[in-house]
Amino acid sequence: MRRAGEVPFIVAVREALPWSFIGLAAAFVAILIVQLRAGAPHATPLGLRLAAALLPAFGVMAMALVIVLPIRLAAATGYGRAPLLLGSVGGFALAMPRPLGPDLVAYLRFFGASGLFIAILACALCATWIAAMRRVAKGPVAEYAGAAMAIATFAALESLHVSLPAAIAAALQPIARLGDTYVALMVIVAIETLLWTAGVHGPAMLAAIVTPVYLTMQMQNTHAFATHAPLPYIVVVSLFLFVFPGGAGATLPLAALLAISRVPRLRRVGRATILPAIFNFNEPLLFAAPVVFNPHFVLPFVGAPLVLATVTYIAVAGGLVARAAFYVPSSVPTVVSTYLATQDLRALALVAFNIALATAIWYPFVRAYERYLAALPQAASPQAASPQAASSRAESRDAR
């Protein structure tokens, strides 16, 4: 998995996505302000206002991605930045649906659903052509020839009246049906958490593959909400807000339990990481507690999110809580983000129940870890508290 995560294109997509999310956020705020100044009726529900601004913002996100992705790919592969940008942006422009139309916001709303995949496809095709031309010739000429071939490929599809947005939408239907299942949810949660226990950033590893698919499904839910239609999908990006309170591993309860720990070092770690955990930023906690490479915490770190995913899926599939209509960044505190994503007050009850359930799962493991550390000499020191040091001392005692 680590080797797969180091493939240059996967690395580039993983690094480019956060920058494109910045484009999404900026466009969302700008479009929302413009619409409000244009005289949007104050009686319009908040959810519909959010949907009217969020859907076209996804189109801007795709445009940001097609610029940032070639830059990151050039850094990862050593290819020229200018040829990659030229071929990717040129192909992306040719693949955009016609006609443009006078209403830019309406056009972006239509284009957003497939824009992410077109941006990724345009960059991938350009990189493939550049790699092929570099086998024939060397230097910048070969790279610009590859960029020209990529643009020519998209031009040929355009001349044949092949609609890439329509083709992508058709191809996504079976993928979405497969991904919108309990099994898919459990597999994603299990892989992300298991990778983290081995020190591999699970969400970052899967982002290049999972995020475009589930974000597109999230967009379709938003579109359905805006048109007063039933929301088609359960498993979307914002559903994971219920599964990972505090970040991967559902570690918000862990930070809270460590903050009141009887072990001084753990108590300091908990109090230092509780605020970041509220905003679902738990990397400091994972390496300071530590959770990574710590056999005492593997079971709750993997098990708690799986239990929460099961409870959440049952609640949403059973209609006890509304399906997530909107994308909300994971950096928004869980209690706030889950309500914004669903526009349903029952989401607050579900996330409160999930946090309580995760606390019950984490509690015995934290107490057992405290007893383990307390039984060791100098348990309060960072060196003595680490699992590796503890293992060495245990082996030394066994040898004696």
Cα Dmax for the chain: 83
Q: How far is 285 from 146, CA to CA, in rounded Å?
A: 46
Element counts in the chain: helices (H) and strands (E): 18, 0
Please tell me the predicted confidence (pLDDT) of residue 396: 47
pLDDT (mean) for 368-393 = 62
Both tokens assigned to 314 = 């049952």
d(CA 337, CA 321): 14
Query: Worst-scoring range by mean pLDDT, 93-97, 107-111, 157-161?
Result: 107-111
Amino acid at 90: G
With vertex at residue 31, the alpha carbon angle to CA 27 and CA 32, rounded to the nearest 5 degrees, is 115
Contact predicate 329/218, CB 8 Å: no
Is a pLDDT exceeding 60 seen at residue 379?
no
For the chain, percent of residues with pLDDT exceeding 90: 42
Domain ranges of the chain: 2-170, 180-386
Measured distance CA(101)–CA(99) in Å, rounded = 6
How crowded is the C-beta side of 128, counted as CA atoms within 13 Å?
Answer: 9
Report pLDDT digits (tens) over 33-88.
887 776 655 556 667 777 778 878 888 888 999 999 999 999 988 889 999 999 99
Asked if pLDDT for residue 301 goes beyond 90, the answer is: yes
Binned at pLDDT 50, 70 and 90, residue 278 comes out as very high
Alpha-carbon distance of 322 to 371, in angstroms, equals 42
How many Å apart are CA 64 and CA 35, to the nearest integer? Answer: 22
- How do residues 97-138 score in pLDDT, each as one tens digit? 776 666 777 777 767 667 888 888 999 999 999 999 988 888
Higher pLDDT, 152 or 35: 152
Closest CA to 234 of 112, 302, 316, 294: 316
The span from the CA of 348 to the CA of 107, in Å, is 35
pLDDT at 4 over 70: no
Q: How far apart are CA 310 and CA 43, in angstroms?
A: 37
Question: Do 338 and 353 contact (CB within 8 A), yes or no?
Answer: no
In the structure, what pLDDT confidence band is assigned to residue 281 with cuts at 50, 70 and 90?
confident
Residue 196 pLDDT grade (very low, low, confident, very high; cuts 50, 70, 90): confident
Average pLDDT along the chain: 84
Cβ proximity of 235 and 185 under 8 Å? yes
Per DSSP, the three-state class of 228 is coil
Average pLDDT over residues 292-313: 93
Mean pLDDT of 386-390: 49
Position with higher pLDDT, 292 vs 363: 363
Taking Cα atoms as reference points, which of 305, 243, 213, 163 lies closest to residue 17? Answer: 213
Which pLDDT score is estimated for 398?
A: 44
pLDDT in tens, 315-363: 999 999 999 999 988 888 999 999 999 999 999 999 999 999 999 999 9
Q: Give the mean model confidence (pLDDT) for residues 250-277.
A: 92
Supply the pLDDT for residue 251: 93
Q: State the alpha helices, DSSP H only, in the chain.
A: 2-5, 8-37, 46-77, 81-95, 104-136, 140-159, 164-179, 182-197, 202-226, 240-243, 252-259, 264-278, 283-288, 298-317, 334-342, 346-374, 382-385, 387-399
Q: How many residues does the chain have?
A: 400
DSSP of 262-307 = SSHHHHHHHHHHHHHHHTT--HHHHHHTT-TT-GGGHHHHHHHHHH
> What average pLDDT does this structure show over 146-173?
85
Mean per-residue pLDDT for 228-248? 93
What pLDDT shows up at residue 397? Answer: 44
Q: What is the pLDDT of residue 208?
A: 65
Range with the poorest average pLDDT among 51-60, 171-180, 215-224:
171-180
- Give residue 145's pLDDT: 92
